[in-house]
């Protein structure tokens, strides 16, 4: 009986000690979680600029190294030069585009208020177009006779888009500010690139052992591949479209060029924008000019079909479909930043999956 009482007392003491330890551990975990959440709230406004800075620094790192060698090893100067070039490439087109939009809006407003805008009569052939021909011909004729009346009929359909349009403009403005901050931070990252690579390799090594540096190199190469394959192709397409617009004498060609760049970056075919312009050219210009512009537009819009395979997976030991699916899926999930994050995540996942399978991809990596 005394032994039973003693063992029961020991169990009670052990239970009390366990409860105290569990309570203490819970309090510690809660405090750590609270501290982590607090830190996250403090740094959250800087997450997107820092992520963009990492992407920009990684994408331009080869140019930074070459420029540093050209400047006699002065890497800080090379970083400053690249930051200034990046700010010029961002700010100058933005200012020019904003000025063009303001000027076009002023011209349109003055023309409507003073009745100086004139819309030419539509060609009779438009009425024979299937489905939309008669309605388009009637509305075009009304715009020729009374432009304000045509605008009033169109206004109820445009009003629901006004709020979204204003929100988009505000978003673009804040996005430009973020990019300016990101470019400056990217310059800092470039100067400390060696230390940054060491830290990234150390973290990756703790996560995936000795293959950590390989995955760090893969992430950098993927970012550069996406920058070349997505942004590079978008810029090439925009330049080709701009050549056609200016050569054909399309009104407000600079505005259509800016819109084309946006459409190409979000991976939509520029032909969506160019089709109405093609119809306009057939209606208002000579047949030869319109046909040549239409052919050039189709070629420029379809140029990504052979440019992306060349640029997207350049320098990467990965199937191009993995990079492309990661970029497009990431964009659909997270917006523009997802173009890069999605491609990197899917590329790393593919490498990890192949390493787990022990397939030829993993064998080749191990052999290297």
Residue 3 has pLDDT above 60, yes or no: no
Taking the CA atoms of 125, 128, 133 and 135 in sequence, report the sign of the dihedral they define. positive
Could you read off the pLDDT of 328-353 as tens digits, one per residue? Answer: 787 777 766 676 777 777 877 887 77
Residue 43 has pLDDT above 50, yes or no: yes
Structural domain boundaries in the chain: 223-362
Residue with tokens 């409507």: 112
> Confidence class of residue 6 from pLDDT cuts 50, 70 and 90?
low
Q: Which of 183, 220, 197 is nearest to 340 (CA)?
A: 220
> Confidence class of residue 368 from pLDDT cuts 50, 70 and 90?
very low
What is the pLDDT, as a whole number, of residue 97? Answer: 63
- Cα 303 to Cα 132: distance, rounded to the nearest angstrom: 30
The answer to whether 330 and 338 have CB atoms below 8 angstroms apart is yes
- Cα 290 to Cα 280: distance, rounded to the nearest angstrom: 9
Could you read off the pLDDT of 167-226 as tens digits, one per residue? Answer: 555 555 666 777 788 888 888 888 887 787 777 778 778 776 777 777 777 777 777 777
Worst-scoring range by mean pLDDT, 6-15, 188-197, 294-303, 331-340?
A: 6-15
The answer to whether 265 and 101 have CB atoms below 8 angstroms apart is no
Q: Where are the alpha helices (DSSP H) in the chain?
A: 2-70, 75-114, 133-145, 147-191, 193-208, 212-226, 233-248, 253-265, 271-284, 287-301, 304-311, 320-334, 338-357, 360-367
Q: What pTM, to 2 d.p., does this model score?
A: 0.60
Select the more confidently predicted residue: 260 or 156.
Answer: 260
Mean pLDDT, rounded, for 74-97: 79
**Number of neighbours of residue 259 by Cβ within 10 angstroms:** 15
- Cα 223 to Cα 220: distance, rounded to the nearest angstrom: 5
The answer to whether 224 and 62 have CB atoms below 8 angstroms apart is yes
> Confidence class of residue 34 from pLDDT cuts 50, 70 and 90?
very high
Mean pLDDT, rounded, for 17-39: 87
What is the pLDDT, as a whole number, of residue 361? Answer: 47
Q: Which of 9, 64, 116, 113 is nearest to 224 (CA)?
A: 64
Taking the CA atoms of 124, 128, 129 and 133 in sequence, report the sign of the dihedral they define. positive
| Dihedral of the alpha carbons of 324, 326, 331, 335, in degrees to the nearest 10 | -140
- Cα 240 to Cα 304: distance, rounded to the nearest angstrom: 11
What is the pLDDT, as a whole number, of residue 218? Answer: 76
What percentage of the chain has pLDDT greater than the value 90? 3
Could you read off the pLDDT of 231-248 as tens digits, one per residue? Answer: 778 888 888 988 988 888
């Amino acid at each position: 009986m005394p032994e039973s009482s003693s063992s029961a007392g020991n169990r009670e003491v052990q239970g009390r000690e366990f409860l105290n330890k569990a309570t203490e551990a819970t309090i510690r975990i809660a405090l750590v979680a609270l501290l982590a959440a607090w830190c996250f709230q403090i740094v959250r406004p800087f997450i997107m600029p820092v992520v963009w800075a990492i992407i920009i620094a990684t994408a331009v790192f080869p140019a930074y190294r070459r420029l540093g060698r050209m400047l006699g090893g002065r890497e800080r100067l090379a970083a400053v030069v690249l930051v200034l070039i990046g700010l010029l490439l961002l700010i100058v087109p933005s200012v020019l585009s904003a000025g063009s939009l303001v000027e076009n809006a002023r011209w349109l407003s003055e023309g409507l208020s003073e009745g100086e805008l004139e819309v030419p009569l539509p060609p009779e052939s438009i009425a024979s177009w299937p489905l939309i021909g008669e309605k388009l011909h009637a509305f075009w004729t009304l715009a020729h006779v009374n432009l304000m009346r045509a605008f009033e009929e169109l206004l109820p359909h445009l009003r629901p888009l006004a709020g979204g349009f204003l929100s988009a403009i505000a978003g673009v403005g804040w996005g430009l500010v973020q990019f300016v901050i990101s470019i400056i931070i990217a310059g800092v990252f470039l100067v400390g690139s060696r230390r940054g690579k060491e830290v990234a390799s150390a973290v990756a090594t703790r996560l995936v052992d000795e293959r950590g540096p390989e995955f760090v190199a893969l992430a950098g190469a993927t970012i550069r591949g996406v920058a070349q394959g997505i942004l590079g192709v978008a810029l090439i397409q925009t330049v080709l479209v701009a050549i056609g617009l200016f050569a054909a004498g399309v009104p407000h060609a600079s505005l259509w060029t800016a819109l084309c760049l946006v459409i190409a970056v979000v991976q939509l075919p520029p032909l969506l924008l160019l089709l109405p312009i093609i119809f306009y050219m057939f209606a208002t210009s000579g047949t030869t000019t319109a046909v040549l512009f239409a052919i050039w537009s189709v070629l420029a819009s379809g140029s990504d079909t052979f440019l992306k395979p060349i640029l997207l997976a350049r320098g990467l030991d990965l199937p191009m479909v993995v990079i492309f699916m990661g970029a497009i899926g990431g964009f659909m999930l997270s917006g523009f930043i997802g173009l890069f994050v999605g491609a990197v995540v899917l590329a790393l996942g593919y490498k990890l999956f192949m390493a787990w399978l022990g397939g030829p991809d993993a064998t080749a990596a191990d052999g290297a």
